[in-house]
Chains A and B, each alone.
Chain A
Amino acid sequence: AQSVTQLDSQVPVFEEAPVELRCNYSSSVSVYLFWYVQYPNQGLQLLLKYLSGSTLVKGINGFEAEFNKSQTSFHLRKPSVHISDTAEYFCAVTGTSGTYKYIFGTGTRLKVLA
């Protein structure tokens, strides 16, 4: 079984400052990792995903994430945030063995302040 922990329920940050949203996972099998963003009153949109290879993954809107197997983490970062980045961010995992299920973390609300 897998689980995902997003310890920070809310992260306030000033515009143009860097931000890191934390995600830790637990799994007895190999996993694929995802970050999704959800803007108000919308569905989820993929930011980036890690399947294999380079542990630094670049996504849309200037976001990147680093897979750390030893720390079972997949933290999301952006060097300079904009007001428009205000949204809910979900980390998710799925097993590599053909499962249909995606396990989501509880989400982190990023609030960018002017």
Chain B
Amino acid sequence: DTEVTQTPKHLVMGMTNKKSLKCEQHMGHRAMYWYKQKAKKPPELMFVYSYEKLSINESVPSRFSPECPNSSLLNLHLHALQPEDSALYLCASRPLTSGGGETQYFGPGTRLLVL
């Protein structure tokens, strides 16, 4: 099973709402990522978890709150978002080995629209 799943596929929310994005993988990967992708742009790194601990936060606004409750699951909690936060949110995972060069496996993404 080389699949990363993300739910929901689409999400529309108002600026006062609270919602969560979910990502799951069962490949035993111990690094998990959140990326934000705007149209016609490359993925932009937001957060990295390794061994369920936050390793990288790319100065993301606090209205985005990541959580890694176990080695298979990654959440992104959203609160008080702005219209400019509308984007495709991609989750990825990769194994952690000493050799390096591991492939990231991406989920299909959640397309978020903030009104």
Q: Which interface class (under 10, 10 to 19, 20 to 34, 35 or more) fits A? A: 20 to 34
Q: Are A43 and B90 interface neighbours, CB within 8 A?
A: yes
Q: How far is it, in angstroms, between the C-alpha of A62 and the C-alpha of B99 when the chains are bound?
A: 27
Q: Which A77-114 residues have C-beta < 8 A from chain B? A: 88, 90, 94-98, 100-102, 104-107, 109
Q: Are A105 and B42 interface neighbours, CB within 8 A?
A: yes
**Other-chain residue from B33, B56, B100, B103 in contact with A46 (beta carbon distance below 8 A):** B103
Q: Are A101 and B56 interface neighbours, CB within 8 A?
A: yes
Q: Are B106 and A98 interface neighbours, CB within 8 A?
A: no
Q: Are A32 and B42 interface neighbours, CB within 8 A?
A: no
- When distances are taken between beta carbons in the complex, the residues of chain A under 8 Å from B98 are 98
Number of interface residues of B (CB under 8 A): 25
B81 at the interface (CB under 8 A from A): no
Q: Are B40 and A43 interface neighbours, CB within 8 A?
A: no
A55 at the interface (CB under 8 A from B): no
Q: Are A96 and B101 interface neighbours, CB within 8 A?
A: yes
List the interface of chain A (C-beta within 8 A of B). 32, 34, 36, 41-46, 49, 51, 88, 90, 94-98, 100-102, 104-107, 109
